[in-house]
Chain A
Amino acid sequence: MTATDPAKAASRPVPVSIDPSIAPPGTRNFRDAGGIPADKWHADQNGETLVPTHCCFCGVQCGMYLRVDKGGKVFGVEPRNHDINRMRLCPKGINAYQQVNHPDRLTSPLMRRSRDEEFKECSWDEALDFTVSEIRRIQAEHGNDAFGLLGGASLFSEKTYLVGKFARVALKTKHVDYNGRLCMVSAAGANKLAFGIDRAGNPFSDILLSDCLLIAGSNVGECFPVMTQYLWGARDRGATLIVIDPRETAVARTADIHVALKPGTDSAFFNAVLNVVIDQGLTDEAYLAANTTGWDEVKKTVAEYPPARSAEICGIPASQIVQVARVFAGADRAMAWHARGIEHHSQGVENCLSVINLCVATGNIGKPGAGYGTITGQGNGQGGREHGQKSDLLPGGRSITNPEHRKQICQIWGIEESELPGAGTSMMEMVWQMQRKEIRGLIGICNNPFVSLPNYAVVKDGYDTAEFHAQFDFFLSETAANAHVVFPVTTWAEDEGVMANAEARVVKHNKAQEPPAGVRTDTWVICELARRLGAGQHFDFPGSREVFEELRIASAGTVNDYYGITYDRLDETGGIVWPCPSTEHPGTPRLFEDGRSYHADGKIHLQVVEWHPPMDAYTEEFPLSLTTGRTVAHFLSGNQTRRLGALVEQTPRPWVEVHPSHGFRNGDPVRVVTRRGSEVFPALVTEAIRPDTVFIPYHWPVPTAANALTIDALDPRSKIPEYKVCAARIEAAERVDEVPAPPTAPGHEAYPETQVSRTDPLPPTAPQGRGTAERS
């Protein structure tokens, strides 16, 4: 490894390499060939540079170059041949750069003393002083735990580390959590219980080696499009594809087996599959005996789930359960990948455990092409929880209730153990606490709960009840529009830092341009707040690099060991998978190759899973399942993507997918009613959904918010909300609810590109129906 000057490495431009010698014969240049007067590509001529970095959006973390003009401004994107994505990008990735210099960017702090006032631009000193005085007032009157902090999993890991440290050391509150709580904590909880380590077991490249791929509850084509190349690659060499999803998605359409089960019945299904596997003698008893605990109890429990019983619960033919069991257990190397479809449930942890039981029982673990993985929704969904941003975790994935772990971190942070708060509550619980005035002040960083949390009425009430609310963001989100103070912070292209993708591969994002005047990095704002709160000595971080050095040390010796990962190594390798305990260690892309788990006894702890019905009961009044999900053009709460013209044009508004048996026609206004409220969407009539299920994409605010209708029931262990199933009914309505324009700061006019087709009844390119499950 060669030493690199850190300052130079941070913003090292990579020149574009063009080799005219491989141009077609007779062609000297573009102008010769075509006569079109556009000779703009040639970076060398125009002073353009390409900065290698990664996409800011989902957990694939595709490598990309940002094109930077000679004035130092990001103006475009160029695909990058990175290991993860091999040049591929999805429409979100291609358009991501447009938010860097978007006219909606916040460029000055905004402030108001009460929510009745309009926002006014103010100086950084005013905004910081007001925030600090409100923190002090609330904590003096109501105790330290009356102030909360909510982070985000789109932040670099350095920033998530700072969020956790700031809450415990500067705010001295136990109430810190993050929006990854809405993402993959069920999978995290299950992985921790079974394996003692919270991450996917295999790299993406193992997908190519698999003989059978089971995708449970993931619309890969829309949520993780770049992963599709791995699926298709596996199929090119003969792998069988099984998709478990109530909807026939683009990937399910081409699957060998598509199981369209009723939402909220996943563990009943997987228990029955394991039941058949045992029945047919397809378990790997030698592996189970040598490497696991709890197998006898699991076996006893799944005996209660014969295919006939589960088929009735799941609303599918029993023959499909038998078929899946035979194909999965019969394959030489099988893999299961799952996502929010099975995790967003009040039994999300159980669902994931039931998949793990299946993989382990069939010996599909710790081998090339055999294992399990979780598809992370947010860019740093994996890394965002590893270093102390989650209410129950300290850096390195240490438990905040473990005395030994507390002692270790207090030594690193230089504080007394008595000063370190205990475990706090989860994101949704914090909102309930705001309603009850137990939490009276809140800082939100990089999240938009007004769109992303379930049961909007409760969320709005909670935030409205809070006496003080500050928000960090680079666009005025729906949640920031409710705040007292908004801090304008950098985009991913204006700072450097690391993220861990769905494989737990740590990748480095590089700085491509200077932030606009008036904008600061999240790191600067957190450190400045800490300084003004009197904890400056613990937050002396000039930038991400220094935070990362402390994070490395804080994680050393833990399961989530980052110690061997350095910025220089990341620049040279393109990513290292943790655990990586030393700077000579290559990282650990595949887990359990020696059969040992990360539990003290080295065994995989299989867990008993019992299915129970979803929390929202079906009745005559609410007979249908409402389920929610994403579209390919939008990301999470849409605060970023609902402002980018091409993506708005691609999917301008949400709709409700209904089966033809309900008698609606495409575009008909359909009122969707749940126990939380009702909203009217245009109907997308399709055979690709179960007759007893309706689907709404969730990226928009009220009155077109799926999350105004979803239930705020939580998984008791992971505290993830049950987004993927609630009881609903549909009825004809007069007209559809219109999508509101994204909020903008004072002085910023609504950006015309985001107004495209806002009143169209259906997205212009939305598929007008799909084949039935039987047809595939």
Chain B
Amino acid sequence: MMGRTIFIDPGRCIGCQACVSACRECDSHRGKSMIHLDYTEPGMSVASLPSVCMHCEDPVAPCAEVCPADAILVTADGVVQQADTTRCIGCSNCVNACPFGIPKIDLQAKLQMKCNLCYDRTAYGLAPMCATVCPTGALFYGTLEELQAERPGVQVADSFVFGDVVVQTGVAMVVPADKVQWPVPGGLPVVEINGRDVR
């Protein structure tokens, strides 16, 4: 199971965008946010969801795999870095390859922008800015054990199904404990929670 990482709990999100503002404050990309706040059911619900890079583990970082310029580095501890500004050619391959819709292209600068799990902070033992400030704990940084100690009975998922492809991620989603067999938005079934088949 994953080590110290981000856990996203959409049930706690109040859409305040503190994460977006906090992300702008990170020194590696000051002034630009690498996190997006999505409204999951526009027109139906105020429900919102912060989207950070899921740091795919298996297959390892589709964005990096398709990068023609070898601009996206995956570190030894599984963090998928933002594109190296000295190599990125702004081709958008990573945008198209990402199953979660995370990387964005700064059209003016022709550069990719993406969450790098606040490597400038986490490498020094600090939590990412977004998870540090999140007023509701919708973004939590730590180990699964730490999360479960704080929220007894919480269930998380770190595998996601896209058609025939299962993607295992470094970042995990909190799944409502009594609703693990619900289909994910779009109708695709959740097949596995913490290695357990829930079909």
Contacts and interface: CB of A to CB of B under 8 A. Distances in A.
A27 interface: yes
Contact of A253 (B46, B79, B119, B135): B46
Interface in A86-144: 87-91, 93-95
Contact of A35 (B47, B84, B121): B84
Interface string A305-346: 000000000000000000000000000000000000000000
A532 B37 CA distance: 54
Interface stretch (B15-23, B162-170, B186-194): B15-23
B150 interface: yes
Contacts of B122: 24
A226 interface: yes
Given A24-B75, A767-B42, A90 B85 contact: no
A298 interface: no
B125 interface: yes
Interface string A631-656: 01100000000000011001000000
A29 interface: yes
A232 B136 contact: yes
Contacts of B22: 79, 89, 94
Contact of B132 (A22, A87, A91): A87
A633 B17 contact: yes
A250 interface: yes
Contacts, number: 187
Most chain A CB atoms below 10 A, which of B27, B46, B75: B46
B125 A771 contact: no
Contacts of B76: 24-27
A33 B119 contact: yes
A77 to B, nearest CB: 6
Given A33-B123, A34-B116, A228-B14, A646 B21 contact: yes
A602 interface: no
Contacts of A226: 135
Q: Could you tell me the dominant secondary structure of chain B's interface residues?
A: loop
A248 interface: yes
A232 B12 contact: yes
B46 A767 contact: yes
A38 B120 contact: yes
A222 interface: yes
Contacts of B102: none
Contacts of A227: 135
Nearest to A18: B124
A529 B187 CA distance: 70
A337 to B, nearest CB: 16
B152 interface: yes
A79 B81 contact: no
A775 B47 CA distance: 12
Contacts of A91: 16-18, 20-21
Interface string A512-547: 000000000000000000000000000000000000
B39 interface: yes
Contact of B125 (A19, A77, A765, A770): A19
B81 A225 contact: no
A388 B152 CA distance: 47
A40 B120 CA distance: 9
Contacts of A41: 27, 120-121, 124
B16 A23 contact: no
A11 interface: no
Given A19-B125, A34-B75, A767-B42, A94 B119 contact: no
A646 B30 CA distance: 12
Contacts of A26: 76-77
A769 interface: yes
B17 A23 contact: no
Contacts of B119: 30, 33-34, 36
Contacts of B73: 34-35
A254 B81 CA distance: 35
B46 A688 contact: yes
A36 B77 contact: no
A221 interface: yes
Nearest to B39: A767
A23 B152 CA distance: 28
B16 A90 contact: yes
B135 A90 contact: yes
Nearest to B127: A87
B107 interface: no
Contacts of A228: 12, 14, 135-136
A18 B135 CA distance: 24
B82 A36 contact: yes
A717 B193 CA distance: 58
A646 B24 contact: yes
A697 to B, nearest CB: 14
A349 B186 CA distance: 49
Contacts of B21: 91, 94-95, 646-647, 650
A30 B120 contact: yes
Given A35-B81, A36-B81, A632-B16, A236 B125 contact: no
Contacts of A250: 13-16, 46, 48
A88 B123 contact: no
Nearest to B9: A232
A768 interface: yes
A228 B135 CA distance: 6
Contacts of B129: 79
Interface in A58-85: 76-77, 79, 85
A216 interface: no
Interface string B141-153: 0000000001110
B107 to A, nearest CB: 17
A293 interface: no
B25 A94 contact: yes
Given A30-B119, A34-B116, A36-B82, A79 B17 contact: no
A229 B136 contact: yes
Contacts of B42: 767-769
A499 interface: no
B151 to A, nearest CB: 5
A88 B77 contact: no
B61 interface: no
Interface string B53-92: 0000000000000000000010111010110111000000
15 contacts: A36-B28, A88-B133, A88-B135, A90-B16, A94-B25, A222-B16, A228-B136, A229-B135, A229-B136, A229-B137, A232-B137, A250-B46, A253-B46, A769-B42, A771-B46
Given A18-B126, A79-B132, A253-B47, 5 more contacts: A22-B124, A36-B85, A91-B21, A93-B133, A232-B12
List the 9 shortest-distance A-B pairs measured between CB atoms, nearest first. A221-B14, A22-B125, A250-B14, A770-B46, A91-B21, A225-B135, A94-B21, A40-B27, A38-B28
Interface of A: 18-20, 22-27, 29-30, 33-41, 76-77, 79, 85, 87-91, 93-95, 221-222, 225-229, 232, 236-237, 248-251, 253-254, 632-633, 646-647, 650, 688, 765, 767-771, 775
